[in-house]
Structure formats: C-alpha cells, structure tokens
C-alpha cells in the first residue's frame, strides 16, 4: 500500500515548491532530504554575525520570480541590487574613465547581438566559437569571462550558445536582506509539509505501477516520485534507478554538466570599510586573453564582509587545489584591486563548498554545444510516475536560478 501520493527527493527550492503545490492541490506528499536542513543551494550562513549566502545571492528577473512574490506577500523588504552591482569598475588598477566604460558597454552590446543571432542558427556552437569574429575587440575576453565563467559558471569553450541565449537573464535583480537561504527556510519550507531530514534516497524502483524509494531508514511507496537532486548527483550515480533511466535521459544528464561558481566571504572586523564604498568591483582588463579573475562585492546589504566570486575552469582548478589555496587566491586578487595594506585587515575567510559536497558536485548546470534541448528532455516524465525537477530542467529562461527551480518544481507537481 502507498504511504503517500508523491515522494519528493530533495528539499531545495524545487522540492519545496513541488511539495507546496501538491499540498495546495490536496495531495499527500513526503519530502526526503539527505542533509539536515532545507534550502539546498540556497544556504545562508553567518560570517562575523552578518548573513552570507554561500549559494544563490540575487533574485534574478525579479518581476517573474516566485520567491519575490512569496517574500513580498509576507511583508519582507527586498533591495535593489542593480545600482550597487554596477557602481565600481576598475580597469588595469584604476577606476574606469568615461571612454573606457563606453568601450566596454559597446563591446557588451556586440557580444549580446552576435551571440543571440548565432543562437538562432543551426548548428549550435560553443560560446567561444560564436564570438570568434569579435576577438579583435580588446574588451571581448573580459566580457566572455563575465558572461560564461562568472554568470553561468561555465567554460566558454564547452558552453552552448543556444543555452546561453535561452537563459540570458533580463529584468531587475533584487537582494534579500538576511539572505536567500534564510528566506527559503522562513517562507517556503513551512509550506512544504513533512520533510524527512537525514534521509538520503539511495534507490528508486519505478518499474511497477507506482514507485518504491529506498533510504537507509526504510522503503517508501507512492504513486509517483519527483527527483530534484542536482545533475551532479545524478551523473555520479548518487541514486540508483531500477529500471535504469532510458538512453534519452542519460544523454540529457551527460549534456548538462555542473558548472562551478565559488563564493568567498572576507570578513573585516571592527567596521573598517577599507576606503571602499558599497558596491561591486568588476575588474576589467583590455587584451585578448585573461588571467584568472575574481570579482568582489563590498559590504553587501550593509554586511561587514566582502563577497568574492570566481567561476568556470578557474573555480574548478581552485577547488582541486583546496580551501587554503582558494583563500590565498582571494587575498591576492583583492590586493590587486585595493592594495595589500587594506587586505591585511581581513580576518576570517569563508569558502563555499559546492564542488566537493557529494550532495551537489558543482554549482549549477550549463548545456554543452548541441545539447540546449537536454533540459526539456530531462524534464520529460517517465511512465507518468517519475519526474525530474530542479534548476537543470527549467525551460522558462531561468535555468540555473532559484526562480527556475521554483517553476520546475511547480511544473513537476502538475505533471504527477
Ligand atoms: C555559488 C552559487 C551562486 C548562485 N547564485 C545564484 C543567484 O544569485 N541567483 C539565483 O537565482 N540562483 C543562484 N544560484 C543557483 C541556485 O542556488 C540553484 O539553481 C537552486 O538553489 C537549485 O535548487 P534545486 O532545488 O534545483 O536544487 P538543490 O538546491 O540542489 O536541492 C536538491 C536537494 O537535494 C538534496 N539531496 C541530494 N542528494 C539527495 C539524496 N540522494 N536524497 C535526498 N536528498 C538529496 C540536497 O541536499 C538538496 O537539498 C547559485 C548557486 C550557487 C552554488
């Protein structure tokens, strides 16, 4: 006999949104979560007493972001993130001149136009190939790094331009004072009903009329199952499927590698602002190639830390080198931006753990060239009783984001 109608694997944004939708529809469901907390890649910790999001940081495309609606309905104040994000631009160690800024934005428009146009043609190619004709522009390497590695956590040589184009984020970005992870725990998790923490799903048997999900705490039966774990977990065989997933779904998983974005919080005790206004330092360099680069965000929503971001192949290299190497890299990059004397005042440095954690194995997905359709394939229900959800299967232009995870979770709930 079924213990419940739907088993949901994973209490990240997708799993919680699916559970909330099912409960609204009067269905019974149970959420199985391997870790001891809800939120998944939305995770707020305290650094020097201030909130720091190890994962999701901004509510992108805020006007169609369900988490914004949820927060505002509950009376939470959200802050504009776009002004501060653009405030400071450093070029070769000095603040950008008006001419340099204009050159940068002209090149960024060329990049967007060229990539969207190339994405409309067949065959799909890598982002790096799509902009081959623009390489003479001295800003292009900087823009490529920003768009692929920093925003999409991807390697531009392996990143489908069609996937970039489909998920190019527009609209306003908002900050959540207190953190997105805390918001998810406060506002979304309570809508999800029963969450069984410390309960990893190890095997999903979907060969019969319903599904059986095995965990170290026993086996559950239901009419259907929604799987929201990261593609990194699926690719590593973190859950066994019986029967095995069809070739279509296995190919989709292979076509959607996990990118890596590593976040670092550098706490500055005593309220010293190091002479820096709140805002983001996007370090920009003229030239055809770039050395690895970290961008910094000073004093996000008034916190006494600097948030550093590094993505793509550099982030994977640093993850392999270890936490101390990442901390040293952050210090060295910050010294280049604001000088060694200021950096000497930095205290604790916290590094996000996404690469090594077996519950994630990366930050979020990007599609390989030719694989932009893999998100839709992975989201296709199997036998009406097994559905994958999560950021990877979002086809609404918000893949890789909490807004996309929410939509994918609600969609999966509708499908089962
Ligand atoms: C560094 C970083 C920065 C980001 N920045 C942003 C941003 O600014 N804005 C934005 O919108 N998005 C951002 N994202 C992306 C966003 O965090 C994710 O897209 C989203 O949180 C993914 O939610 P999900 O529910 O799809 O997956 P997850 O959050 O991964 O949820 C899956 C859950 O499954 C659990 N699990 C794993 N294996 C098992 C198992 N076998 N059994 C049971 N449970 C299991 C995990 O513990 C996890 O809780 C960022 C992500 C990272 C890592």
SS3 52: strand
- Write down the pLDDT at residue 282: 73
Assess if residue 48 is contained within a domain.
Answer: no
What's the whole-number mean pLDDT along residues 187-211? 97
Residues 112, 124 share a domain: yes
Assess if residue 360 is contained within a domain.
Answer: no
Specify which residues 279 forms β-bridges with: 298
Domain count, the chain: 2
Residues 302, 197 share a domain: no
Cβ distance 246 to 382 under 8 Å? yes
Assess if residue 323 is contained within a domain.
Answer: yes
d(CA 330, ligand 1 centre) in Å: 24
78 Cβ contact partners less than 8 Å away, ≥ 6 residues apart: 59, 62, 68, 71, 72, 174, 175, 176, 177
Residues 343, 281 share a domain: yes
Boundary residue ending a domain (316, 351, 386): 351
What's the whole-number mean pLDDT along residues 161-166? 98
Does residue 181 have a pLDDT over 70?
yes
Residues 152, 121 share a domain: yes
Residues 116, 70 share a domain: no
Instruction: Please state, in angstroms and rounded to a whole number, the distance separating the CA atoms of residues 174 and 277.
Output: 19
* 293-345 per-position pLDDT tens digit: 898 999 998 899 999 999 999 999 999 999 999 999 999 999 988 889 999 99
Q: At 250, which CATH number?
A: 3.50.50.60
Question: Quick one: pLDDT band at residue 248, thresholds 50, 70, 90?
Answer: very high
Please give the share of the chain, as a percent, with pLDDT higher than 90: 84
Cβ distance 115 to 161 under 8 Å? yes
d(CA 104, ligand 1 centre) in Å: 32
Does residue 1 have a pLDDT over 60?
no
Specify which residues 88 forms β-bridges with: 281
d(CA 360, ligand 1 centre) in Å: 7
**Using only C-alpha atoms, what is the Rg of the chain?**
21
Cβ distance 220 to 212 under 8 Å? yes
What Å distances lie between residue 251 and 10, 230, 272, 319, CA to CA? 22, 15, 51, 26
Residues 266, 144 share a domain: yes
Residues 235, 86 share a domain: no
What's the whole-number mean pLDDT along residues 199-210? 96
Token pair belonging to 281: 């330092």
* 35-76 per-position pLDDT tens digit: 999 999 999 999 999 999 999 999 999 999 999 999 999 999
Residues 185, 167 share a domain: no
Boundary residue ending a domain (351, 386, 407): 351
Token pair belonging to 2: 């079924």
**Residue 402 CA, closest ligand 1 atom number:** 11
Full-model pTM:
0.97
Residues 188, 161 share a domain: no
Assess if residue 181 is contained within a domain.
Answer: yes
Assess if residue 359 is contained within a domain.
Answer: no
* 3-37 per-position pLDDT tens digit: 899 999 999 999 999 999 999 999 999 999 999 99
Place of tokens 């086996």: 219
**Residue 360 CA, closest ligand 1 atom number:** 30
d(CA 307, ligand 1 centre) in Å: 19
Boundary residue ending a domain (325, 351, 377): 351
Residues 270, 231 share a domain: no
Residue minimizing CA distance to atom 31 of ligand 1 = 12
Q: At 152, which CATH number?
A: 3.90.660.10
Residue minimizing CA distance to atom 26 of ligand 1 = 390
Residues 297, 200 share a domain: no
Residue minimizing CA distance to atom 11 of ligand 1 = 401
Assess if residue 49 is contained within a domain.
Answer: no
Residues 166, 270 share a domain: yes
Expressed as residue numbers, the domain containing 160 is 82-172+261-351
- Write down the pLDDT at residue 58: 94
Of 206, 195, 191, nearest in space to 241 by CA: 206
What's the whole-number mean pLDDT along residues 203-213? 96
What's the whole-number mean pLDDT along residues 197-223? 97
- Write down the pLDDT at residue 55: 98
- Write down the pLDDT at residue 42: 98
Question: Quick one: pLDDT band at residue 2, thresholds 50, 70, 90?
Answer: low
- Write down the pLDDT at residue 338: 86
Residue 361 class from Cβ within 10 Å (0-12 exposed, 13-18 middle, 19+ buried)?
buried
């Amino acid at each position: 006999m079924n213990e419940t109608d739907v088993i949901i694997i994973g209490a990240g944004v997708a799993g919680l949104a699916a559970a909330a939708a099912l409960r609204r529809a009067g269905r019974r469901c149970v959420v199985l979560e391997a870790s001891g907390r809800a939120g998944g890649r939305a995770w707020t910790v305290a650094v020097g007493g201030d909130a720091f999001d190890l994962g999701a940081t901004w509510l992108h495309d805020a006007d169609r972001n369900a988490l914004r609606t949820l927060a505002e309905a509950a009376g939470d104040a959200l802050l504009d993130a776009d002004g501060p994000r653009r405030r400071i631009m450093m070029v070769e160690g000095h603040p950008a001149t008006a001419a340099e800024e204009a050159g940068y934005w002209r090149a960024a428009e060329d990049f967007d136009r060229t990539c969207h146009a190339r994405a409309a043609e067949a065959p799909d190619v890598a982002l790096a190939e799509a902009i081959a004709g623009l390489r003479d522009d001295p800003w292009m390497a900087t823009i490529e790094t920003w768009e692929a590695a920093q925003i999409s956590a991807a390697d531009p040589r392996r990143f489908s331009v069609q996937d970039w184009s489909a998920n190019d984020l527009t609209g306003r970005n908002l900050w959540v004072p207190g953190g997105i992870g805390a918001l998810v725990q406060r506002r979304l998790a309570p809508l999800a009903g029963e969450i069984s923490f410390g309960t990893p799903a190890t095997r999903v048997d979907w060969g019969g009329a319903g599904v059986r999900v095995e965990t170290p705490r026993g086996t559950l039966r239901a009419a259907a199952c929604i799987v929201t774990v990261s593609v990194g977990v699926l690719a590593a065989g973190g859950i066994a499927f019986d029967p095995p997933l069809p070739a279509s779904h296995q190919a989709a998983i292979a076509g959607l590698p996990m990118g890596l974005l590593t976040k670092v919080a550098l706490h500055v005790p005593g309220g010293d602002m190091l002479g820096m206004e709140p805002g983001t330092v996007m370090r920009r360099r003229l030239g055809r190639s770039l050395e690895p680069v970290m961008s910094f965000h000073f004093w996000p929503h008034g916190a006494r830390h600097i948030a550093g971001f590094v993505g793509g192949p550099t982030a994977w290299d640093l993850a392999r080198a270890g936490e101390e190497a990442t901390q040293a890299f952050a210090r060295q990059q910050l010294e280049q931006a604001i000088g060694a004397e200021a950096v000497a005042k930095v205290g604790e440095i916290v590094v996000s753990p996404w690469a090594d954690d077996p519950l994630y194995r990366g930050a979020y997905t990007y599609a390989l060239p030719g694989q932009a359709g893999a998100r839709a394939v992975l989201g296709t229900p199997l036998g009406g009783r097994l559905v994958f959800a999560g950021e990877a299967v979002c086809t609404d232009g918000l893949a890789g984001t909490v807004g996309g995870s929410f939509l994918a979770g609600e969609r999966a709930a509708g499908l089962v």
